[in-house]
Structure 1
Amino acid sequence: MKAGFQTLDREAVVDRLDVRGRLPSWLSGTLVRNGPARFEADGRSFRHWFDGQAMLHRFGFADGVVSYRNRFLETPSLHAVRDDGRIAYAEFATDPCRSIFARFFTRPRITPNANVNVVSDGERDWALTETPIAVEFDPDTLATVGLSDHRDAIKGEVTTAHPHQAPLTGDLVNYVLKFGRRSVYQVYRQRGRTRELLASLPAERPGYLHSFAITERHVVLAIFPLVVNPLSFLLRGKPFIENYRWRPELGTRFVVIDQTDGSVVADRRTDAFFAFHHINAYDTEDAVVVDVSAYPDAEVVDALYLDRARDGVELPLPFPTRYEVDLAGDGPVRSRRLADDALELPRISYSAHNGRDYRYAYGVGAHGNLGHDFFNQLVKLDVRTGRTTRWHEPGRYPGEPVFVPAPDARAEDDGVALSVVLDADAGRSALLVLDAATFAEVARAEVPHAIPFGFHGRFTSASH
């Protein structure tokens, strides 16, 4: 398991991976995955899993053959780490060690280390992180093209690496958080290279939001009570996330925003919980349904510091939980757990069911719901019945399962799930292909090295 948190320096190009099993004849396209791959700078280690320097991994599928290449994102933060041997940018939980004096008189350097996700705006491909600096890359060679250059009035310090495609318009939707005496969440939509402000939501103590939800009609922000006083960034001399405080007495706030005019149509609070990832959301006649991989609190952030993760410290587990936000009156937010199996890094049949009613979700979990061995199984969840199907092999650690629908799919789960799996004993990884309907193994393609645990990826069909 420790190999998943170790540096991978090797960049490789393999035209044909060894494949065990037989790939579906229709599986043609590319899977690009993103995640951290370098965790040291001149003997000094980054402190958190989220801090490692970004590397892209590309799996190509054609005629039953799987190719592979991997490449670092060539960003200013990587150049400082690799070429100068220093940490020059503030990461999620690692600081360049500027003095308090320097904090007052030096503008903070927002990291361009885009190690979380990948997305296309219809014209270009981007690697993303939680700062508003995206990194363009070539989807074939993985070569870095350059940094984003939005020249509009939407400015800020924090965003999500999980923009959504609006189900009805196809616009990309996201938010940027601007810190200040009165901080503000700026929700925007983007068509091509043009961003338009949709709504502004003030916040005295903004919360840490890794993702958000979208439906056909609404944008939903779940503001967890892991909150910050923005002055702390100047006064406390600590890395970004260590300025946040868990304040459960604030509860979790659901803000529902109308996509047509940016108006707030509901603002409700419920009991405190925390989440990194939303599973999906959709509208009913008088409510918004929001499914979340929910933790009881924010202890998971601390559990993912590298020294603890490498030592196998017990990992808090999230469970798929449904929240229903009433839009017709002032009713309470109703909630219920969808299944008894933990589920993290959730994916759905996105193109057909994003923001709409759905049945199946896929994610990683923990065998026996025991958190001492990291995420070590894949889980398929039927959100209507609560039934789960699992894939587990001892000593194997799967990553986020990306669902790819069959081109003539007749059911929501007609397709395959793709997951990069680390074999801890062999010290190498493989791409696992599961039949999404049965969760039976279809094939696996062996990679010549261990791929560090990553975060998110995107499949693009060859026909696109």
Structure 2
Amino acid sequence: MSGDYRLGLKTLDDEIVVDRLPVRGELPSWLAGTLIRNGPAMFDHAGKSFRHWFDGQAMLHRFEFTGGPDGGVSYANRLLDTLNVQSLRERGRIGYQEFATDPCASLFGRFFTRFTRGTSANGCVNVTEVNGRSLAVSETNLAVQFEPETLATVGVIRYGPEASGLVTTAHPHAAPGTRDLVNYMLKFGRHSRYVVYRQGPADAAPTVVGEIPADLPGYVHSFAITEHHVVLAIFPLVVNPLSFLLRNRPFIDNYRWRPELGLRIVVLDLVSGTLRADCRAPAAFAFHHINAYEDGNAIVMDLCAYPDAGIVDVFRLERLRDGEVLPPCRPTRYHIDPDAGTVEVATLVDQTLDLARINYGRHNGRPYRYAYGCGADQATSNFFDRLVKLDVTDRTVTVWREDGCFPGEPVFIAAPGSSAEDEGVVLSVVLDATAGRSSLLVLDARSFTELARGDVPHAIPYGFHGQFTRARPT
């Protein structure tokens, strides 16, 4: 393969604005709005390096589509102005703890400072809108608010209950039907517990839906929702909360893989908080859910499932830069029978798929057919090197790939007035390692063929998630 994939793991700290990118191909005339993507960008500074892909300091990238027959796309990027970025720039040192990087011996102090003051925002955050505010949401009870027009950091705010926990997910959901914000907090203690909550309009206080006790809390990066239920997959990558106090280790290094515990799946009623199911499946690990929905009295949950938690260590910068092959991550279906307390597990296709997205507005928490994600050759790929369209009904895949190109998470945008689930486009930031720059790729979602791409003048480091906002009618 031509091009060096490691270009996507180099620091980018230049901030630019380009009013009109050169576009190859033709953009759909209806495509008007803004895509904001997030990902790590500052991995190394003044001789100091973070240890994990997740730990690189966050940068926002804005692509704005003007639409119409002469439509184009502009680009701007900007680092989130966090205390760790300030520490690196002003003092030349890493000042605050990250996912796998700890700058000092006092782990306990840094750990609780980080989760109560919002001292840092690494690249492993999700760009979303919560109660009308544009936020970079992290795996804490805090989020960095930014101005979408300028990407300027506005401040750090809470987006969960005031009686907040220490750890949450960067993937809150909009409840089907009501669009209420739904998320959870993990409260560490002698008796740790996951607290599921929901929040309506901006002026409404969050309310607790229910609590799930956990003697050994597992690392949970995301969760699933259906029309009437919240579904937590608690993986057997677990921690004794005392480890944070007694061991001098970064956050994730306190967790241990315990496959004998199995994968714990908990289903709560979204309104009453009633426990519908608390069952076990064979051990697996995942960062991202694909979707979940109700099938009669049963629950169907689809995961991007790894065989174990080894991917957490593979994503350490040293190992990524050394060329380690990614382990397989297969789309896996869990069919949960709450009455019987049983789970049936089936692999949907034998194809790596992670960073999955769906037609969220219409099918989140409901039956669906198509998902879009990043894939890799299971034998040779050092990083995600293809985009995959998954048909969960036929259990088939369609692949887009190009030699030397490494795409990021695909974001589906439905065409105005569309009726078919896959009528629209898929957007992905693609690193062309051979050309030494990135492009915004636009694919027809149905045929999965290229429509256009806008070329960015530099290489954008590998990112995580993005949010598209349609332009308001004038």
| TM-score, normalization by structure 1 | 0.96
CA offsets per residue over residues 265-315 of structure 1, 9 Å max, x none?
Answer: 110001100000000000111110000000110000010000110121011
Structure 2 counterpart of 1:286: 297
Structure 2 counterpart of 1:93: 100
Structure 1 counterpart of 2:360: 350
- In 1, the alpha carbon distance for the partners of 2:36 and 2:160 equals 28
CA offsets per residue over residues 232-290 of structure 1, 9 Å max, x none?
Answer: 11111010001000000000000000011111111000110000000000011111000
Supply the AA of the counterpart residue of 2:180.
Answer: D
SS of 2:319's partner is helix
CA contact (8 A) 2:141 2:160 kept: no
Q: Map 1:189-208; keep pairs closer than 5 Å.
A: 189-191=198-200, 192=202, 194-208=205-219
Structure 2 counterpart of 1:7: 11
Structure 2 counterpart of 1:323: 334
CA offsets per residue over residues 371-426 of structure 1, 9 Å max, x none?
Answer: 53310000000001111000011110000000000002121000000000001122
Task: Pick from 254, 259, 265 the counterpart of residue 248 of structure 1.
Answer: 259
- In 2, the alpha carbon distance for the partners of 1:365 and 1:156 equals 34
Closer, same or farther in 2 for the Cα pair 1:224/1:105, shift >3 Å?
closer
* Shift, 1:76, TM fit: 1.4
- In 1, the alpha carbon distance for the partners of 2:419 and 2:394 equals 20
* Shift, 1:153, TM fit: 4.1
Deviating more after overlay: 231-240 vs 189-198? 189-198
Deviating more after overlay: 217-226 vs 123-132? 123-132
- In 1, the alpha carbon distance for the partners of 2:199 and 2:122 equals 19
CA contact (8 A) 1:154 1:197 kept: no
CA contact (8 A) 1:317 1:371 kept: no
Structure 1 counterpart of 2:346: 336
Q: Is 1:228 aligned to residue 235 of structure 2?
A: no
CA offsets per residue over residues 33-81 of structure 1, 9 Å max, x none?
Answer: 0011001243121000000101000000013200000001111121112
* Shift, 1:328, TM fit: 2.5
* Shift, 1:151, TM fit: 8.4
* Shift, 1:329, TM fit: 2.4
- In 2, the alpha carbon distance for the partners of 1:399 and 1:84 equals 32
CA contact (8 A) 2:8 2:459 kept: yes
Supply the AA of the counterpart residue of 2:436.
Answer: G
Structure 1 counterpart of 2:36: 32
Closer, same or farther in 2 for the Cα pair 1:424/1:150, shift >3 Å?
closer
CA contact (8 A) 1:114 1:134 kept: no
CA contact (8 A) 1:291 1:323 kept: yes
Q: Map 1:159-174; keep pairs closer than 5 Å.
A: 159-174=168-183
SS of 2:288's partner is strand
- In 2, the alpha carbon distance for the partners of 1:85 and 1:66 equals 36
SS of 1:373's partner is coil
Task: Pick from 36, 50, 73 the counterpart of residue 66 of structure 1.
Answer: 73
Q: Is 1:429 aligned to residue 461 of structure 2?
A: no
Supply the AA of the counterpart residue of 1:264.
Answer: L
Supply the AA of the counterpart residue of 1:340.
Answer: D
Closer, same or farther in 2 for the Cα pair 1:105/1:333, shift >3 Å?
closer
Gaps of 5+ in 1: none
Closer, same or farther in 2 for the Cα pair 1:227/1:408, shift >3 Å?
same
Deviating more after overlay: 160-169 vs 106-115? 106-115
- In 1, the alpha carbon distance for the partners of 2:263 and 2:462 equals 29
Closer, same or farther in 2 for the Cα pair 1:104/1:22, shift >3 Å?
closer
Task: Pick from 62, 75, 86 the counterpart of residue 79 of structure 1.
Answer: 86
Q: Is 1:274 aligned to residue 279 of structure 2?
A: no
Deviating more after overlay: 15-24 vs 171-180? 171-180
- In 2, the alpha carbon distance for the partners of 1:20 and 1:213 equals 38
Gaps of 5+ in 2: none
* Shift, 1:370, TM fit: 2.7
Structure 2 counterpart of 1:377: 386
Supply the AA of the counterpart residue of 2:113.
Answer: P
Task: Pick from 44, 49, 60 the counterpart of residue 53 of structure 2.
Answer: 49
Supply the AA of the counterpart residue of 2:401.
Answer: H
* Shift, 1:107, TM fit: 4.7
* Shift, 1:104, TM fit: 6.7
* Shift, 1:113, TM fit: 0.5
CA contact (8 A) 2:160 2:206 kept: no
- In 2, the alpha carbon distance for the partners of 1:105 and 1:42 equals 22
Supply the AA of the counterpart residue of 2:136.
Answer: A
* Shift, 1:189, TM fit: 0.7
Structure 1 counterpart of 2:120: 112
- CA RMSD in angstroms comes to 1.5
Task: Pick from 121, 124, 135 the counterpart of residue 130 of structure 2.
Answer: 121
Aligned residues: 460
- In 1, the alpha carbon distance for the partners of 2:196 and 2:450 equals 41
Runs of 4+ in 1 over 6 A off after TM superposition: none
- In 2, the alpha carbon distance for the partners of 1:142 and 1:150 equals 19
* Shift, 1:128, TM fit: 1.2
- In 1, the alpha carbon distance for the partners of 2:20 and 2:110 equals 53
Q: Is 1:446 aligned to residue 450 of structure 2?
A: no
Supply the AA of the counterpart residue of 2:219.
Answer: Y
Supply the AA of the counterpart residue of 2:105.
Answer: R
- In 2, the alpha carbon distance for the partners of 1:9 and 1:57 equals 12
* Shift, 1:156, TM fit: 1.4
Task: Pick from 312, 315, 320 the counterpart of residue 304 of structure 1.
Answer: 315
CA contact (8 A) 1:399 1:453 kept: yes
- In 1, the alpha carbon distance for the partners of 2:99 and 2:261 equals 24
- In 1, the alpha carbon distance for the partners of 2:206 and 2:324 equals 42
Q: Is 1:22 aligned to residue 26 of structure 2?
A: yes
CA contact (8 A) 2:130 2:159 kept: no
Task: Pick from 249, 253, 262 the counterpart of residue 273 of structure 2.
Answer: 262
Task: Pick from 398, 401, 408 the counterpart of residue 410 of structure 2.
Answer: 401
- In 2, the alpha carbon distance for the partners of 1:149 and 1:398 equals 32
- In 2, the alpha carbon distance for the partners of 1:137 and 1:230 equals 32
CA offsets per residue over residues 7-42 of structure 1, 9 Å max, x none?
Answer: 001101000000000000000000000011001243
Structure 2 counterpart of 1:460: 469
Deviating more after overlay: 449-458 vs 184-193? 184-193
- In 2, the alpha carbon distance for the partners of 1:359 and 1:105 equals 44
- In 2, the alpha carbon distance for the partners of 1:420 and 1:441 equals 13
Closer, same or farther in 2 for the Cα pair 1:125/1:339, shift >3 Å?
same
